[in-house]
Homo-oligomer: A and B are copies of this chain.
Amino acid sequence: MTTGGARTRPATARGERTRAALIVAARTVFERDGFSDSRLTDITAEASCATGSFYTYFDSKEDILDAVLAEAQEDMLHPGMPHVEPESADDPTAIIEAANRAYFEAYRRNAQLMLVREQVAGISPEFRDIRRQRGEVFAERNAKLIRDLQSRGLADPDLDPLAAARALSGMVSRMAYHCFALGDEIPMEELVFTATRLWVNAIGLRKSS
């Protein structure tokens, strides 16, 4: 299931269209009703196709959610390079800030879907793993940064880079969840500032001087 759909890909253009329509429809329905409260028939209705057609392309509700999340994943992971001013190219704080901003913005774009992801993560171990893997990507990226800074003597050497990265990634993702999925309505700038400052402080970043 987690593998992205057990069915073979559509052979015809018409099939491709139906499959795509179903994914769009599923996202709409999931965001509107949540995963548990959504019915397959709502999805097919939204996609203007017959109930049975669903099973031509997907094995189950979980399966199509998997596809929906995979599409969103792209947007979350590769939102375009975070923009860093050239002159700050080597300023770790600027890099961290840019990454945080990029993350928050991507999260905001997909907020409703993130809520759905949390929902299914609560229900199914399979989706918990998806979420975890997704988190690990960020954590490892960050761990690398921390490790690098430590080796340059710019970060607290006592910290385990991966453990710290996981914790801080968790912190940021939690902030995003509260703000955008639950609707806490904190201004983006405050969010970025707080996240970045805590991050920078937490790893004990020192000016490179």
Contacts and interface: CB of A to CB of B under 8 A. Distances in A.
Interface of A: 34, 36, 115, 118-123, 128, 132, 156, 158-160, 163-164, 166-168, 170-171, 173-175, 178, 182, 186, 190, 194-195, 197-199, 201-204
B159 A198 contact: yes
- Copy total for this chain: 4
Contact of A122 (B121, B167, B204): B121
Given A170-B175, A201-B202, A204-B201, A194 B164 contact: yes
A132 B174 CA distance: 12
Nearest to A135: B178
B171 A167 contact: yes
A186 B190 CA distance: 32
A170 B171 contact: yes
Given A119-B123, A132-B182, A171-B167, A198 B202 contact: yes
A interface: dominant SS:
helix
B174 A190 contact: no
A204 B197 CA distance: 10
A159 B156 CA distance: 20
Contacts of A115: 122
Contacts of A204: 201
B123 A34 contact: yes
B168 A190 contact: no
A76 to B, nearest CB: 18
A17 to B, nearest CB: 20
Nearest to A177: B170
A40 to B, nearest CB: 14
Contact of A168 (B34, B164, B198): B198
Q: Give the 7 A-B CB pairs with smallest separation, nearest first.
A: A122-B122, A171-B171, A119-B122, A170-B174, A202-B202, A198-B202, A201-B202
Nearest to A170: B174
Given A122-B122, A168-B171, A163 B194 contact: yes
